[in-house]
A = this chain, B = another copy of it.
Amino acid sequence: MADIEEKLELMERRIRDLEDRMAIQQIIARYGPAVDSCSTEATANLWAADGSYDFGGAPLVGAEAVGKLVDLQTHRAYVARGCLHSMSTPVIEIDGDHAVATGNSRVYLHDGGDWKVERASANRWEFIRTVDGWRVTKRTNRLVDGSEEARVIFASGVDPNGTANPVG
């Protein structure tokens, strides 16, 4: 019996790891539909109460402030024209009740007869496990415009001890 209990416990841990990964994928998957429909609450609910979103410039601090990004004049103008926020499948590293996901995001903007890629970015998402499930504690987004910052995000996602190689 002790042997079976042990096996059950090990399997339960493996199931939980899979559930954690699926849950984190789902939070990131929710971001695009939430902001592209200007859903303030659905956007805010992805973040921890004191979580932040830094996309260059002064970060938005607190879930409520993040939710309100859908009311920004630039965002409303995007949505009125027609836009998609799309996220890649992220690299996920889980450490107990914390997790980091690293991937890209793109913003497609309606532009006459087709769509242009208005933004293309590197993203680092940090998460905490709460009683209500995983929540974003910090998201950092940097344009891939040749600057070092985006490369540092990507490098840290695939090689936690490494640094982005110099390019130029």
Chain A interface residues toward B at CB < 8 A: 1, 4-5, 7-8, 11-12, 14-15, 18-19, 21-22, 25-26, 28-30, 32-34, 36-42, 70, 76, 79-84, 86-92, 102-104, 106, 108, 110, 114-120, 122, 143-147, 150-155, 157-159, 162, 164-165, 167-168
Contacts and interface: CB of A to CB of B under 8 A. Distances in A.
A91 B29 contact: yes
B89 A28 contact: yes
B82 A25 contact: no
Given A32-B88, A39-B165, 11 more contacts: A4-B4, A8-B8, A15-B15, A21-B22, A30-B158, A32-B154, A36-B104, A36-B151, A84-B120, A87-B89, A106-B108
Contacts of A119: 115
